[in-house]
A and B are shown apart, each in its own frame.
Chain A
Amino acid sequence: MTDATQTRHVPDRLNSRAARIFKSWEALLLAVAIAIFVINSFASPYFLSAWNLSDATFNFTEKAMIAFAMALLIISGEIDLSVASIIALASTAMGLALQYGAGTPELVIIGLTVGVLCGAFNGFFVTGLGLPSIVVTIGTMSLFRGISFIILGDDAFRGYPASFSWFGQGYIYWVFTVEMLLFVIIAIIYGVLLHKTNFGRAVYAIGNNPTGALFSGIRVARVKFILFLLTGLMSGIAAVCLTSRLGSTRPSIATGMELEVVTMVVLGGVNILGGSGTIPGVVIAAFVMGLVTFGLGLLNVPGIVMSIFIGLLLIGVIALPRLWSMAAAGRKS
């Protein structure tokens, strides 16, 4: 808060690019990812197999697609807890269309459209009516999945066409899956959108100070609405992939996935209160979560126990730096 150290000529940057990267959250996270990779490869002889690693990516590709859009939404100071329910509703809509003889292209279009519509619904309540997104999306989380339950009850839709299975089960080349390709493309698109465009800058401005952003001539409501649309669209894409991979639709599909998506985003260094975070961080976080899940899977640790690790990871990555700085402050005084 002092101007004492400041000079009349104001330089552009204080720290070099290298220093900034070195000190970043992403660098720390990358180190964690490498450590896990090394530990895993020692712990299990099956880990370093191309096919096994390829299988492991299914653990995170669908979630990560949503996580990229969610990252932007959280940076802007909002949240969408209904993403898993959007998957359920989109998948149910595809299953319903299947009963009326829809082919693969129609299924995909329907899945994506339902996703976008759900996003628009959330966006309307949040930006149109000015309601808190956490409450709205807790509501739509019940509503969207509830509609799936009304349509399906205890039943399931099956019998998706063979060509539809390409999205969730297909390979582009050797061990590289279609989902991996989608993951990479979407990561690049969101990376560019957030870090290289005016839109991305507006997202950061809104997240740091929505009132200030509005007073700076940014169309805050419009930006937020678009972010909800994008999150809905990504959920629609994830619904296509997941439905294709499972080959069936149940109303309970993707239950609890919203929490894993939020965990991935927060682990990636996005501030849950908005204003900061990066796409590379989320990408690394996706790998970390995938590696942990896969490594523990190879060691025959059941899925529910893995969730303990995910939970600990979520709290630990935020708590440890704070504990460390508290300890450092304690030593000083």
Chain B
Amino acid sequence: MSTRTAPSISPDVSPMVSMDMITKTFPGVKALDEVKMDLYPGQVTALVGENGAGKSTTVKILTGIYQPNGGTIRIDGDPIAFGSPNDAAKAGITAIHQETVLFDELSVAENIYIGHAPCTRFGLIDTAQMHRSAAKLLTDIGAPFSSHTQLRELGIANKHLVAIARALSVDARVVIMDEPTAALSHKEIEELYELVETLKSQGKAILFISHKFDEIFRIADRYTVFRDGAFVGDGRIADISEGELVKMMVGRSVDQIFPQSDHVIGDEVLKVVGYEHPTEFADINFSLNKGEILGFYGLVGAGRSEFMQALFGITKPSKGVCQVNGDIKVIRSPADAVSNGIVYVPEDRGKQGAIIGLPIFQNITLPSLGKTSRSGFLKLAEEFKLAREYSRRLDLRAAALDQDVGNLSGGNQQKVVIAKWLATQPQVIILDEPTKGIDIGSKAAVHEFMSELAAQGLSVIMVSSEIPEIIGMSDRVIVMRDGRIAAELTTDELSPETLVRHAAGITTDGAAA
């Protein structure tokens, strides 16, 4: 993001796609309010906004999944309406999504061509032709696998390549990339950037959605900012600074300030010796002290979450001992972990954290029912009391405690999950990517709360892939690589470079180990 040449746009280039005055309402919610966005041929436009700004709704409208309630979409200046995803596909718009949305049971070629496979004159799929074309596409993008491979045999990065090949196969004019790098390693991200350049050189218009600012400033030519479903501004990336963009996004200037750590670190609470799993991790040894925030850094797939889940009793380690306050504890299930004072706030909030469908108060009291009930019988008054106490402590914003937790925003759901665990009065709280997918405002609140917890004597393990968060919050950091501990770093040793080097296994001279 240092010296970059100004994008070669002449002002007279007209947009390939332009969205104008687009409004989309859902029962009770205005997701998009008369927004506009233009996409230009051969350029990358970054759509920037906090969670809930309306980015994914925009993508769904552009791909024909939602129909807008008002406004016009123009392609090459002609108004067009998408009644279905098929219409959008026919207009040359294709999307590569957050989670690779493809089909494990089909071959690579079938995945690339599903919905538009070449046919013989009898109307049957021309398999030979399909594999030939697929093979050519795969060669073009440098994919290291055959078109006959079953998709399920591929890793996440290669699945991305299939998604990109699919985008190219439909001869798309507009490619939407929705957080494409979220699950990729550094090397894979670099390869993706190269592909984006290729797409640009072919004159395709690219809509790029990302939360990572370095990425936006690295590859985008233009930006469009939404806030709370409304258009805030757009322009050339070259004309704006990172700080200005953040300001537009949140409507105020936010400095990423981490709370001052004024907590006292006490005696050892948790000690893990020789944890090992047949496939996911090995040789994990560390200890955690009272009032300490221990950061776990590593690349996606380094085995951090897998280890945490084993520590929490979800999966069973094949070897290893866990000591709490010096006593050896056998943890075979989450229930065992909770009764030993170890709790886990998972990364996947919707699936593993909040129980959507149950009211907020029942979510909060779920692991504490033993305390709020008498000989197995529920006592609602006690439950509400506990729920009130912790929702106040976490400054929960909700209509009422008996509302479905699914009605809350991501940040408030996260608060419910944390409240649920604090109500059990644990000794060790494991936070797995606690601020992932949360807007900047809520992020700061979570950070502040985390150091408050530590100050109160709770021991915190924080798994995070965000370097500023790791450096700003941790008292000590463990870096994992390929299922093993690669380094243990004190605050003095912490720097973005050391973290990345240990996580990627790069020796000092820059070569990969």
A interface list, Cβ under 8 A from B: 1-3, 5-8, 10-14, 196-202, 204-205, 207-209, 211-219, 275-276
Contact = CB atoms under 8 A, between A and B. Distances in A.
Contact of B398 (A6, A202, A208): A6
B358 A217 contact: no
Interface residues of B, number: 52
Given A6-B397, A13-B402, A209-B351, A217 B384 contact: no
Interface in B376-433: 376-378, 384, 388, 391-392, 395-403, 407-409, 412, 420, 424
B417 to A, nearest CB: 9
Contacts of B373: 197-198
16 contacts: A1-B52, A7-B397, A8-B397, A12-B384, A12-B402, A198-B376, A198-B377, A201-B369, A204-B362, A207-B357, A208-B357, A208-B358, A213-B366, A216-B334, A217-B334, A217-B335
Contacts of A216: 334, 355, 366-367, 420
B296 interface: no
A13 B312 CA distance: 33
B162 to A, nearest CB: 27
**Which 5 residue pairs spanning A and B have beta carbons closest together?**
A208-B357, A14-B400, A217-B338, A198-B369, A212-B355
Interface in B337-372: 337-339, 344, 346, 351-358, 360-362, 366-367, 369-370
Contact of A217 (B367, B378, B398): B367
B398 A10 contact: yes
B510 to A, nearest CB: 41
Interface string B425-446: 0000000000000000000000
Contacts of B326: none
A11 B391 CA distance: 11
Contacts of A219: 333, 335
Summarize B's interface: helix, strand, loop or mixed: mixed
Given A209-B357, A212-B355, A214-B314, A3 B377 contact: no
B28 interface: yes
B29 interface: yes
B356 A208 contact: yes
Contact of B355 (A1, A11, A205): A205
B337 A212 contact: no
A12 B361 contact: yes
A197 B333 CA distance: 22
A205 B409 contact: no
A205 B366 contact: yes
A211 B338 contact: no
A205 B399 CA distance: 21
B344 A11 contact: no
Interface centre among A2, A212, A218 (most CB of B within 10 A): A212
Given A13-B401, A212-B351, A201 B334 contact: no
A1 B408 CA distance: 6
Contacts of A212: 351-356
Contacts of B370: 198
A10 B354 CA distance: 18
B357 A275 contact: yes
A18 B431 CA distance: 41
B424 to A, nearest CB: 8
A14 B346 contact: no
B250 to A, nearest CB: 15
Nearest to A198: B369
A14 B361 CA distance: 13
Given A212-B355, A219-B333, A201 B420 contact: no
B366 A3 contact: no
A226 to B, nearest CB: 13
A198 B398 CA distance: 25
Contact of A208 (B355, B369, B388): B355
A216 B349 CA distance: 12
Contacts of A207: 357
A292 to B, nearest CB: 31
A54 to B, nearest CB: 34
B377 A197 contact: yes
A13 B378 CA distance: 17
Given A214-B334, A216-B367, A1 B29 contact: yes
Contacts of A201: 362, 366, 369, 378
Interface centre among B367, B370, B384 (most CB of A within 10 A): B367
Contacts of A12: 361, 384, 388, 400-402
A202 to B, nearest CB: 8
B378 A197 contact: yes
Nearest to B27: A329
Contacts of B52: 1-2
Given A1-B29, A3-B408, A215-B344, A196 B377 contact: yes
A209 B391 contact: no
A275 B355 CA distance: 10
A7 B403 CA distance: 13
Contacts of B377: 196-198
Nearest to A2: B29
Contacts of A14: 399-400, 402-403
Contacts of B334: 214-218
A10 B312 CA distance: 31
A215 B376 contact: no
Contacts of B378: 196-198, 200-201
A24 B501 CA distance: 59
Contacts of B388: 10, 12
B358 A1 contact: no
Contact of A276 (B337, B353, B357): B357
Contacts of B396: 10
Contacts of A211: 351-352
Nearest to B344: A215
B251 to A, nearest CB: 15
A13 B380 CA distance: 12
Contacts of B360: 10
